[in-house]
Copies of this chain bind each other. A is one copy, B any other.
Amino acid sequence: MWASVAKRLLRSKVQFSVAYTSLIVQRNKCFPCSSLLYLSRWQHSAPVFEQTCSPEAMIRNVETLDAERFVCVHWEDGGHSLYPYVWLRDNCQCPQCFLHSAKARKLPIENLDVDTGLRNVDLTDANKVSITWPDDHKSEFEAKWLKKRCFSEESRAEMQEELFLQERFYWGSDLKIPTMSYEDVLRCDKAAFKWLSTLREVGIVLLEGAPIKQGELIRLGRRIGYMRHTFYGYTWQVQDKTDANNVAYTSGKLSLHTDYPALQYPPGVQFLHCLKQAESGGESEVVDGFHVCNQLRKEDQKAFDILTSKQIDFTDTGVDYCDFSLQSKQRIVELHPNGDLLRINFNNATRDSVLNLPVEEVQPFYDSLKKFVNLMNHPKNTYYYKMKPGQVVTFDNWRILHGRKSYESGANISRHLEGSYLDWDVVMSRLRALKNKLQNSS
């Protein structure tokens, strides 16, 4: 019940952080994986293990609509689905048309008759749709396979959600930061799945109990797949450095930002592993940037439109893994083609002095950016925490803005975080693989 209410609320883009944050503090340390902090939620909802189409998808009969060149499949449950001839021919699953070892299409567009007719369609005893094409080529499609690919709006939306897990739980300063055991996510698939799905939905998960040694993040990256190499290396050391090549490598305050918009495709996920913490200062700050964007859209549509349309230059020049001279063009807020929020690109340190806007658009851009920054710094949106050695914060770098308070630094290193990046493609790949593995073993 709770989950379905939550889903409806999310779909209508309404925040329900109170319900969420009151839920996420429920812990159940007795569960086989000690880190399953979300037990009550998963018990109620468990939506990720549902099949988009039930395995029992049974076909009543099939017919052709020759004028439209559609095959119409009538299901036993009373519904029906339409499949264009050309799509069926394109997706023939026979070994001549499809390489099963690679799960990839062999039939090239060159050999596809996009105006194909259809000689015959039958329903087989094994609940399959069997088609004979005008050139005598035969195709067979399983009912379940077809049902998952139904072209109705509802079915497509379900499939897209299954593939991309776009649902988000927005939060403000009342966040109770999701916390799990580092060792559990390394060892237990169920814990790893919950870690990554929470990272997707909430945008941030704190892992506790990691060994306090440099290089440990490599293990965590391997748990998922591989890390994203950048000009700062595979992992990088956030410390106060002489002649810092990055503002993060000082002891100064870092305003809320996303990492690396100077890369045209900024890293999707960031890990920060605390190895040493300053006695005074150095508190971390995070904000749900998507939640802030929705507030901005509501309060000042014009500012939102400017930040989602004008391309702003970013730059990063220096030497680290090797010498680098990066330039990128980013909208401060990047939208999906459907208007959904895709990514925040905002690091004031690397925002270039080169600004490719007509001079009359400069002031409106600054006005919009100021409004966005004021909103992200509003006490209702900011969440502070101070990392302890052995903690690893993992967060969505496309959504979460992060910063830190300044700290006291002396002759010795007083604070040391090790960081690394991953692409969302790699994290989502592991999430799908874990989901399949858990589904198959349940």
Point out residues on A near B: beta carbons under 8 Å.
69-70, 82-84, 86-87, 90-91, 99, 101-110, 112, 114, 148-149, 151, 153, 156, 159-160, 163-164, 225-226, 228-229, 231, 243-247, 249-250, 252, 255, 263-265, 309, 311, 313, 315-318, 321-329, 337, 348-351, 353-359, 362-363, 366-367, 369-370, 373, 377, 423-426, 428-429, 432-433, 436
Q: Is the interface of A mostly helix, strand, loop or mixed?
A: mixed
Contact of A229 among B87, B90, B226 (CB under 8 A): B226
Contact of A327 among B164, B354, B356 (CB under 8 A): B164
How many copies of the polypeptide does the oligomer hold?
2
Query: A87: which B residues are within 8 A, CB to CB?
Result: 355, 362, 366
CB <8 Å contact, B86 and A429: no
CB <8 Å contact, A425 and B263: yes
Query: A358: which B residues are within 8 A, CB to CB?
Result: 151, 153
CB <8 Å contact, A245 and B102: yes
Cβ of A353 to closest chain B Cβ, rounded Å: 4
Cβ of A153 to closest chain B Cβ, rounded Å: 7
Query: A106: which B residues are within 8 A, CB to CB?
Result: 247, 252, 349
Query: A369: which B residues are within 8 A, CB to CB?
Result: 109
Which 7 A-B residue pairs are closest in the complex by CB-CB distance? A151-B359, A325-B432, A104-B349, A108-B255, A265-B265, A109-B373, A91-B353
Could you name 5 residue pairs across A and B whose Cβ atoms are closer than 8 Å? A101-B245, A103-B315, A103-B316, A103-B317, A326-B429
Contact of A151 among B110, B245, B362 (CB under 8 A): B362
Query: A362: which B residues are within 8 A, CB to CB?
Result: 84, 86-87, 151
